[in-house]
């Protein structure tokens, strides 16, 4: 898999016979000025190219010959005492398949011998390249890597499926464990019990386990509230397999049964998501899906009597963004919000809601993305709108003020774009009937 990634990347530099590509791996991070080490997670671009999941490495790719050089640190005996065995170069050749292994203290001499024309590197690496006596170029490699990473290889999709399979089960575990009187962080523990049990010890992002009003906080991290009967519970959490992420969200009632109002609002979000999922085809665009999903939300709110007026006018006035303020979804891969969402030359749309799109792409087969519409009652957005003569007339003030503590609803699936539609990797129940049956078990 990684050999194919290198070939794909080098194909974008085939006219630069004398140049090199340089990628630096990650290092172990410590908590402030202590010796406490955070668990190591490899830098994503380096992992994409090499598959090497150890700290303090680097790699060079020769644009002319296609050779792959892996740079390793020269460890001493103390490293073996504290951290384990020290591998010899032959071991690294066997593990990661480089054409040559170079110790980090040999790189300058090696560069001096081959005398590359330029070394393409990522922004921030210029100083390191200059120290080697070479000329850095930061104008191309970042875009080239994003271009390559957007379309997933078969091996990458296999890894994404494995991450999704574990995350699906972890979400199901939480759904069957939620109950009034339980703390949010207990549900985080339930989720992580499943992922860690399967060896997926790295979380792709900080999970959200939010009940009641907290479910309307888009990046809620406290996870310390006691859940109450009559509230909704939102779980936005994923798993990571060999660096590849799953990112799934479900929202359901704490006590296992939707109220009439919760049911109506939930079905609005589900209809919005299904509308967007059904529109994913090669050639269609993310922003068009976002607006179609937004229309479903506005139409549903209109049906519930929470907004009034012509739906087209409500869309024109950006009323949808008061309830659905974030983007519809994002690319997914080695990073939860994966690279390539905005190809070079693509600008953000300066419009409420749309300006927070994490991807403006025309869909292509092999892309992997999330679709996650939401409906939230956020006082910080609604109170100014209710006080604004331009928007107040479209809003049912009496009903909306009663929902300021309601929270929010979000439904998120992970999908692969195929030639004829999508392959959905998310199997967690999402209809009200399915969820209520699962929670009753």
Catalytic positions are 35, 219, 236, 247, 326, 330, 337, 372, 376, 410, 412
Tell me the CA distances in angstroms from 340 to 123, 137, 193, 325, 334, one per residue in order.
16, 20, 32, 22, 12
Q: Are 61 and 48 in contact (CB under 8 A)?
A: no
List the one residue out of 7, 6, 48 whose CA is nearest residue 25. 48
Beta bridge partners of 20: 62, 119
| Tokens representing residue 207 in the block | 């999970």
Tell me the CA distances in angstroms from 150 to 8, 22, 71, 145, one per residue in order.
12, 20, 26, 9
Beta bridge partners of 362: 285
List the one residue out of 114, 113, 108, 145 whose CA is nearest residue 130. 108
Residues contacting 209, CB < 8 A, separation 6+: 174, 184, 185, 187, 188, 191, 223, 233, 234, 235, 237
Q: Are 302 and 311 in contact (CB under 8 A)?
A: yes
Q: How far apart are CA 272 and CA 294, in angstroms?
A: 7
List the one residue out of 409, 372, 400 whose CA is nearest residue 258. 409
Tell me the CA distances in angstroms from 5 to 58, 383, 433, one per residue in order.
16, 50, 43
List the one residue out of 232, 237, 198 whose CA is nearest residue 221. 237
Please give the DSSP secondary-structure letter assigned to residue 431: S
Residues contacting 124, CB < 8 A, separation 6+: none
Beta bridge partners of 128: none
Please give the DSSP secondary-structure letter assigned to residue 206: -
């Amino acid at each position: 898999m990684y050999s194919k990634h290198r070939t794909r990347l080098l194909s974008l530099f085939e006219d630069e016979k004398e140049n090199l590509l340089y990628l630096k791996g990650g290092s172990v991070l410590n908590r402030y000025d202590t010796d406490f080490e955070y668990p190591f997670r490899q830098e994503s671009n380096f992992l994409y190219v090499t598959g090497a999941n150890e700290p303090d490495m680097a790699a060079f790719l020769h644009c002319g010959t296609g050779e792959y050089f892996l740079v390793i640190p020269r460890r001493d005996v103390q490293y073996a005492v504290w951290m384990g065995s020290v591998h010899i170069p032959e071991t690294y050749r066997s593990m990661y398949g480089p054409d040559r292994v170079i110790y980090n203290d040999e790189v300058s001499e090696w560069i001096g011998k081959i005398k590359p024309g330029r070394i393409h590197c990522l922004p921030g690496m210029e100083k390191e390249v200059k120290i080697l006596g070479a000329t850095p170029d930061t104008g191309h490699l970042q875009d080239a890597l994003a271009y390559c990473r957007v379309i997933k290889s078969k091996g990458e999709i296999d890894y994404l499926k494995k991450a999704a399979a574990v995350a699906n089960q972890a979400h199901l575990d939480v759904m069957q464990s939620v109950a009034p009187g339980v703390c949010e962080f207990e549900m985080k523990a339930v989720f992580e019990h499943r992922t860690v049990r399967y060896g997926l010890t790295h979380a792709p992002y900080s999970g959200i386990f939010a009940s009641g009003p907290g479910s309307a906080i888009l990046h809620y991290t406290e996870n310390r509230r006691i859940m109450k009967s009559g509230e909704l519970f939102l779980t936005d959490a994923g798993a990571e397999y060999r660096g590849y992420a799953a990112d799934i969200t479900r929202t359901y009632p704490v006590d296992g049964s939707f109220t009439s109002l919760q049911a109506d609002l939930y079905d609005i979000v589900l209809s919005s998501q299904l509308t967007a999922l059904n529109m994913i085809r090669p050639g269609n665009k993310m922003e068009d899906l976002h607006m179609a999903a937004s229309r479903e939300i506005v139409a549903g709110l209109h049906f519930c009597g929470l907004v009034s007026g012509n739906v087209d006018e409500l869309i024109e006035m950006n009323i949808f963004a008061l309830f659905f303020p974030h983007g519809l979804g994002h690319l997914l891969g080695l990073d939860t919000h994966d690279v390539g969402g905005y190809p070079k030359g693509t600008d953000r749309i300066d419009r409420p809601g749309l300006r927070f799109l994490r991807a403006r792409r025309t869909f292509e087969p092999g892309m992997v993305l999330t679709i996650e519409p939401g409906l939230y009652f956020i006082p910080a957005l609604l109170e100014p709108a209710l006080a604004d003569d331009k928007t107040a007339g479209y809003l049912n003030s009496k009903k909306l003020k009663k929902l300021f503590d309601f929270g929010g609803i979000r439904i998120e699936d992970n999908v692969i774009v195929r030639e004829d539609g999508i392959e959905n990797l998310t199997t967690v129940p999402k209809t009200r009937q399915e969820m209520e049956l699962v929670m009753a078990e």
